[in-house]
Chain A
Amino acid sequence: MVLIQLVNGLMEGMTLFLIASGLTLIFGVTRIINFAHGSFYMLGAFLTYELVPLIAPGTLWGFFVAVAASAAAVSALGVLFETTVLRRIYGKDGILQLIVTVALVLIIRDLVRMTWGANSVSVQMPDALMGALVVGDTYFPLFPIAIFAAGLIVVLAMIWVIYFTRAGILLRAGTDDRGMVALLGVNEKLIFTAVFAAGAFLAGLAGGLSAPYGEVNYLLDTTIIVSAFIVCVIGGLGNLYGALAGALVVGVTKAIGVMYFPRLSMVLIFLIMAAVLIARSMGRQGGPAR
Chain B
Amino acid sequence: MLEKNKKTVVAAVLAALATSAGAQDGPVKVGFAADLTGACAALSEDGLNGAKIAAEEINAAGGILGRPVELIVRDTQTKPDEGAKVARDLITKDRIDVLTGVCSSAVMLAESAVSAELKVPFYAAIGSTQRANIELYQPYFWQVQASATMEAYAAAEYVAKKPEWKKISALGSDYEWGHTSVAAFTERLKELRPDIAFADPIYAKVGETAMAPYITATLAQQPDAVFAPLFGPSLGATLKQGQGFGFFQKTNLVTLMTVDTLQSQGASMPADNVYGIARAPFFALEQSPEVTAFIETYRAAYGEYPTDWAINAYDGLHFYAAVAEKAGTVEADAIIAALPQVSFDGLREKGLTIRALDGQMNAPVYVGKAAKVEGYDFPILTEVEKFEGAPLMPAEDLILQARGAAR
Contacts and interface: CB of A to CB of B under 8 A. Distances in A.
B192 interface: no
B237 A213 contact: yes
B210 A119 contact: no
A255 B213 contact: yes
A50 to B, nearest CB: 14
B28 to A, nearest CB: 28
Interface in A146-175: none
Given A141-B241, A219-B38, A219-B233, 16 more contacts: A5-B217, A8-B213, A11-B212, A118-B45, A119-B263, A122-B266, A131-B243, A131-B244, A132-B243, A132-B245, A134-B246, A217-B42, A219-B39, A223-B233, A258-B202, A262-B202
Given A1-B220, A119-B263, A124-B267, A223 B207 contact: yes
Identify whether the interface residues of A are mostly helix, strand, loop, or mixed: mixed
Task: Give the size category of B's interface with A.
Answer: 35 or more
A117 interface: yes
Contact of A212 (B41, B202, B232, B240): B240
A188 interface: no
B48 to A, nearest CB: 11
Contacts of B385: none
A5 B237 contact: no
B216 interface: yes
A213 B240 contact: yes
Contacts of B212: 8, 11-12, 141, 144, 255
Contact of A144 (B244, B246, B263): B244
Interface residues of A, number: 42
Contacts of B220: 1, 259
A285 to B, nearest CB: 26
Contacts of B244: 131-132, 139-144
Contact of A215 (B39, B45, B209, B243): B209
A212 B395 CA distance: 44
B216 A122 contact: no
B233 A215 contact: yes
Contacts of A124: 266-268
Contacts of A263: 203
Contacts of B203: 262-263
